[in-house]
Amino acid sequence: MMKKRIFAICSLAGLFALAAQAQQLPVYLDDSKPLEQRVEDALSRMTLEEKVAMTHAQSKFSSPGVERLGIPDVWMTDGPHGIRPEVLWDEWEQAGWSNDSCVAFPALTCLAATWNPEMSLLYGRSIGEEARFRKKTVLLGPGVNIYRTPLNGRNFEYMGEDPYLAGRMVVPYIQGVQQQGVAACVKHYALNNHEVNRHTTNVVLSDRALHEIYLPAFKVAVQEGKAWAIMGAYNLYKNQHACHNQYLLNDILKKQWGFDGVVVSDWGGCHDTEQAIRYGLDMEYGSWTNGLTMGASNAYDSYFLAIPYLKMIREGKVGTQELDDKVRRILRLIFRTEMNRQRPWGSMNTPEHYAAARRIATEGIVLLKNEALKRKGAKPAALLPIDLEEVKRILVVGENAVKMLTVGGGSSSLKVQREISPLDGIRARVGNKAEVKWARGYVGDASGEYNGVVTGQNLKDNRSADELIAEAVAMAREADCVIFIGGLNKSGGQDCEDTDRASLDLPYGQDRVIAALAEANSRLVVVNISGNAVAMPWVEKVPAIVQDWYVGSEAGPALAAVLMGDVNPSGHLPFTFPARLEDCGAHAVGEFVKERSREVVDVEYKEDIFVGYRWADKQKKQKPLFAFGHGLSYTTFQFGKAQADRTTMGSDEVLTVTVPVTNTGALRGAEVVQLYIRDVESSLPRPVKELKGFCKVELNPGETKEVSFRIDRSALSFYDDSRSEWVAEPGRFEAIIAASATDIRSKVPFELK
């Protein structure tokens, strides 16, 4: 592996030396020349065999360049939360490097929960620096598939249920990564909304739902983020696999959106040579002979875009037009990354990266509930933040307080330099100001291994559930404050690739533990760690609830900072917490596959455009447990009356809506001001409202700032699938200013002429 890389570097140096003697660089090596001129020059020098070789993998995570021309190999790495440890050339087993540990950044649900594009740019730059230092060409992330159901095992890798929020948060991430000379590969394009049967699910939905809900974040990633790579999804659409799909890849991505980068297959996502040639795939990656399961070792020549492709060209069954387009895109990728002489050097495991991980984590943690409790001889006060002047005995309960959560979950599993647990983070923050004890409470998954990375933790406990609960309850009665830290983990059947959750309920009998703790001690904080919504049958019995995430290396310090009030929480939910699974459109009227099948199965999205809060807004009787956009603070905010600069707008005009926001509490804090648009009269059914703007504003106590939103025609438009175009109909609209999808603060009516 290393020999090939060294040879490529040496051959490139040799070419430069020869060119210097001749006083002229070949065009493709001269980065002062226009990119497309360099691409065409390199393409003209390549043989047919070299071109075909470029379109498929040569190892688990690399594809070949052209050694004789000094064009280097392409090296992929899994993200999107950290740089995956090295594996052997042709095996999934660990390579055994001692210098491939990384910083684990928060899962993308946490990033989306910051509602802060500045955090997204910081994230992209930081992880991009780590990828560059590890000499990677492409980072396989970020993910922007829409959160259609809380049962999707891979939701934690995505950016929530709303296409506008996901789109606004994905662009800075891409820009930050690509500033480091590493390509961001946005995934999984498209409609990867559940994991069971992901290879055999044919998604059936309207063109309107496709364009309004499931494609916008990808479109923004391409047209604004200028992503250099896109990864196809495993599922089928229109009975074609998404990794070679005429409508998704050729018609929409490359023609309509003007994407000039590479389309990479997910590992094993390619299924047919002719379709891969014609329907938009550029680079085939996978494992073993057929790209996924088993076969002869070093069988990459048998890939669909390898010898079978070359054979079809030589037999005259296909031409080379498609091949040249694929290679142009790959060369473009290489010139932007590996052959960019202004490419930064990168860095790994730096204090700055750990600080970035912690900052993103603290800004994404969401305070869901914080009720005032009665105190002897004093006014009622909220349980959080914890006052260490009053609280001297803290009990922490729960497996997730100690379990490493960077290992597991599928391809995003990491080998970290360090991961500080919530329990250790709390103990370090409290110091000698209070006593901190821990009780197991429940046994979840005692294992700690994924793909050869072993946590080294011994979490085995043979006590019964009754014994564990009895211990926790007895200790809770003696504590001044109890912090339960549980939720999901990244084991199969929870937040994990290739599996979905069986239900909305918490696993391992945690509901019973929480109910018992609530009876034993009224000063109970429940911290839920997950990438998905969970049911909370005990919600009325618990005074304080915190939604934590898989926040990576700095998990403990980040959570402790929020619980102790060092950081005022400002995260807001990027998805709806339903009270029941039946309150999700995908389960109320849509289809969700639970049984595995080797045959292709249609899954119809009958809820259509009504996903997340769009569905919840239609329900008159059942309110969500916690609404999309919900998030509390340790201070309070008051919204003034929103004003528009006029009451009517023409089709080409922009309307500005302004609202004053005041911090009416005693602490500095940040609020997320959300703009929704309601179409009062429409020829087609539309959601009650749709997110079209947001702004995170930070305020000192007593400070007021004005937040402004610009509304243009695109914010008023819907996709008319009978006309295959976006339409903004003249008529009455409302601009709705809110603190969440159910917390409306002000409305401004206006009209589109």
Look at strands 449-450 and 453-454 and give their pairing.
antiparallel
User: DSSP string covering 390-419, please?
Assistant: T--EEEEESGGGTS--SS-SSTT---BS--
pLDDT at 308 over 70: yes
Mean pLDDT value across residues 724-732: 96
pLDDT at 354: 98
Q: Are 111 and 364 in contact (CB under 8 A)?
A: yes
Cα–Cα nearest to 617, from 440, 742, 451, 527? 742
pLDDT at 1 over 70: no
pLDDT at 15: 56
pLDDT at 10 over 80: no
How far apart are alpha carbons 355 and 498 in whole angstroms? 32
Confidence of residue 693 (pLDDT cuts 50, 70, 90): very high
Catalytic residues, by residue number, are 266
271 bridge partner residues:
none
441 bridge partner residues:
none
pLDDT at 91: 83
Assigned token pair, 286: 């996978």
How far apart are alpha carbons 437 and 487 in whole angstroms? 20
CB atoms under 10 Å from CB of 160, counted, come to 27
Cα–Cα nearest to 165, from 705, 676, 610? 676
pLDDT in tens, 168-193: 999 999 999 999 999 999 999 999 99
* CA triple 259-263-265, angle to 5 deg: 160
pLDDT at 8: 46
Rg for the chain, CA atoms, rounded: 27
Confidence of residue 90 (pLDDT cuts 50, 70, 90): confident
Name the one residue in this structure whose structure tokens are 């060294």.
6
H or E element that contains 329: helix 321-336
Q: How many residues belong to the chain?
A: 753
pLDDT at 567 over 50: yes
Percentage above 70 pLDDT, the chain: 95
Assigned token pair, 268: 């094993």
Cα–Cα nearest to 697, from 748, 737, 736, 735? 737
Grouping H, G, I as helix, E, B as strand and the rest as coil, residue 31 is coil
Q: Using the 8-state DSSP alphabet, how is residue 255 labeled?
A: I
User: DSSP string covering 133-175, please?
Assistant: HTT-SEEE--B------TT-TTGGGS--S-HHHHHHHHHHHHH
pLDDT at 12: 56
How far apart are alpha carbons 191 and 428 in whole angstroms? 43
Look at strands 524-529 and 544-548 and give their pairing.
parallel
* Cα distances (angstroms) measured from residue 629 to each of 249, 307, 572, 626, 671: 32, 51, 5, 9, 11
740 bridge partner residues:
743
Assigned token pair, 193: 């909304």
pLDDT at 245 over 50: yes
Amino acid, res. 613: Y
Mean pLDDT value across residues 7-16: 52
Q: Do domains 363-575 and 635-752 have the same CATH topology?
A: no
Cα–Cα nearest to 35, from 266, 254, 253, 340? 340
How far apart are alpha carbons 551 and 104 in whole angstroms? 8
Grouping H, G, I as helix, E, B as strand and the rest as coil, residue 489 is coil
pLDDT in tens, 29-75: 999 999 999 999 999 999 999 999 999 999 999 999 999 999 999 99
How far apart are alpha carbons 97 and 87 in whole angstroms? 9
Mean pLDDT value across residues 79-105: 94
pLDDT at 3: 41
Mean pLDDT value across residues 75-86: 97
pLDDT in tens, 329-363: 999 999 999 999 999 999 999 999 999 999 999 99
Q: Are 695 and 642 in contact (CB under 8 A)?
A: no
Contacts of 642 (CB under 8 A, 6+ apart): 657, 658, 659, 735, 737, 745, 746, 747, 748
pLDDT in tens, 518-535: 999 999 999 999 999 999
pLDDT at 288: 58
Stated pTM of the model = 0.95
pLDDT at 297: 61
How far apart are alpha carbons 35 and 37 in whole angstroms? 5
pLDDT at 18 over 80: no
Phi, psi for residue 428 in degrees, rounded to 5: -65, -40
Q: Are 291 and 267 in contact (CB under 8 A)?
A: yes
Looking at every residue in the chain, the average pLDDT score rounds to 94
Assigned token pair, 197: 């049967």
* Cα distances (angstroms) measured from residue 567 to each of 112, 319, 361: 18, 61, 11
pLDDT in tens, 573-626: 999 999 999 999 999 999 998 888 899 999 999 999 999 999 999 998 889 999
pLDDT at 2: 42
- Sequence ranges of the domains in the chain: 363-575, 635-752
Mean pLDDT value across residues 107-127: 98
Please state whether the peptide bond connecting residue 26 to the residue before it is cis, i.e. omega within 30 degrees of 0: no
pLDDT at 23 over 90: no
Least confident of 257-266, 289-298, 702-711: 289-298
Q: Are 533 and 578 in contact (CB under 8 A)?
A: yes
Contacts of 49 (CB under 8 A, 6+ apart): 310
pLDDT at 24 over 90: no
Mean pLDDT value across residues 266-294: 84
Look at strands 378-382 and 236-237 and give their pairing.
unpaired
Mean pLDDT value across residues 424-429: 98
Contacts of 434 (CB under 8 A, 6+ apart): 388, 391, 392, 393, 394, 480
* Cα distances (angstroms) measured from residue 621 to each of 607, 616, 617, 618, 624: 18, 10, 10, 9, 10
Confidence of residue 20 (pLDDT cuts 50, 70, 90): very low
Phi, psi for residue 150 in degrees, rounded to 5: -75, 0
How far apart are alpha carbons 473 and 495 in whole angstroms? 28
Q: Does domain 635-752 have CATH number 1.10.10.10?
A: no
87 bridge partner residues:
94
Please state whether the peptide bond connecting residue 353 to the residue before it is cis, i.e. omega within 30 degrees of 0: no
Grouping H, G, I as helix, E, B as strand and the rest as coil, residue 518 is helix
Instruction: Select 363-575's CATH number: 3.40.50.1700, 3.40.50.300, 3.30.1490.20, 3.30.465.10.
Output: 3.40.50.1700
Q: Are 697 and 661 in contact (CB under 8 A)?
A: yes
737 bridge partner residues:
675, 746
34 bridge partner residues:
none
CB atoms under 10 Å from CB of 35, counted, come to 13
β-sheet with 524-529: strand ranges across: 366-370, 544-548, 524-529, 481-487, 393-397, 435-439
CA atoms within 13 A on the CB side of 728: 19
Q: Using the 8-state DSSP alphabet, how is residue 323 labeled?
A: H
pLDDT at 629: 98
